[in-house]
Structure 1
């Protein structure tokens, strides 16, 4: 029993804790679940249309999404805008990864205290990084590795 608690504390300290499963529906009606992406890296990025650092990081997230076929990027728009407005906003920024116009049910699946917040899940579904504030491509690639050519 003592070993279990020591292992759990170590996993928490390293950020490698099995994540609660999520289910999100994007602005195009597609459903995204953590279980469906097992075997791939998943980056959920919580952002808002009024958040300057959020908008600055979106081109880097787009570049990550395009250069890493083993990485799924999901944009979670948290500012309560309707799906059509969020989709138009993302299109103006040339974002092609899935965008979710989060409602209260979607937001309850995550612990969010600041924007942007990014959660990186490894191939087995464990959270390996939670970053409040702007995340960079270099930070993500330090964990998942460079793009494979």
Structure 2
């Protein structure tokens, strides 16, 4: 029973943690996408960026991927990048993306090489999906745990954009 309480406390801490403690300075991330392109977060300055950690085995991730695609398609100043740190081959990842197409680039990134602002684990536990919102200056302003709907994403981005 104490172990279960400890796990629940860790989950609660993860849910209550604020991304403002994650990024005091502009975040950086440079990855090669499954399409053999590149994505450089610094090159996105002036736009809002959604950084989404997902996994092929995560049902909530699969549900939110079309929502993220629709959101970036309808918001000209918002871009997204999907990241996974799964230990799968590049071919398997490419095949997955072909079977589950999205309207934003997808890349594989080792947890070891991931900047602190975008760690896909919290308090030693892997969590998926995790979505980060990066402001036009490159700072992480919000971390969202769990699947995200179009309406929730729109509300969060709208709240952040307001002066």
Q: Shorter-chain TM-score: which interval?
A: 0.7 to 0.9
Q: Does 1:95 align with 2:98?
A: no
Q: Is the 8 A contact 1:76 1:99 kept in 2?
A: yes
Q: Which residue matches 2:83?
A: 76
Greater CA drift, 34-43 or 71-80: 71-80
State which of 26, 49, 66 in structure 2 corresponds to 1:42. Answer: 49
Gaps of 5+ in 2: 1-17, 122-126, 159-163
More off after superposition, 39-48 vs 63-72: 63-72
The Cα RMSD (Å) is 2.4
Q: What's 1:112 paired with?
A: 120
Aligned partner of 1:142 in structure 2 is 155
- Of 130-139 and 101-110, deviating more is 101-110
- Name 2:143's counterpart in structure 1: 130
Matched residue SS, 2:76: coil
* Aligned length, in residue pairs: 135
Q: Structure 1, residues 26-53: CA drift from partner, whole Å, max 9, x if none?
A: 1122221221000001001001101111
- SS of 1:55 mapped into structure 2: helix
Q: TM-score, normalised by structure 2?
A: 0.72
Q: 1:27 aligns with which of 22, 28, 34?
A: 34
* CA 48–122 in structure 1, closer or farther in 2 if over 3 Å, else same: same
Q: Residue 67 of structure 1 aligns with which residue?
A: 74
Structure 1's unaligned 5+ residue stretches are 1-10
SS at match of 2:87: coil
Calculate the TM-score normalised by the size of structure 1: 0.78
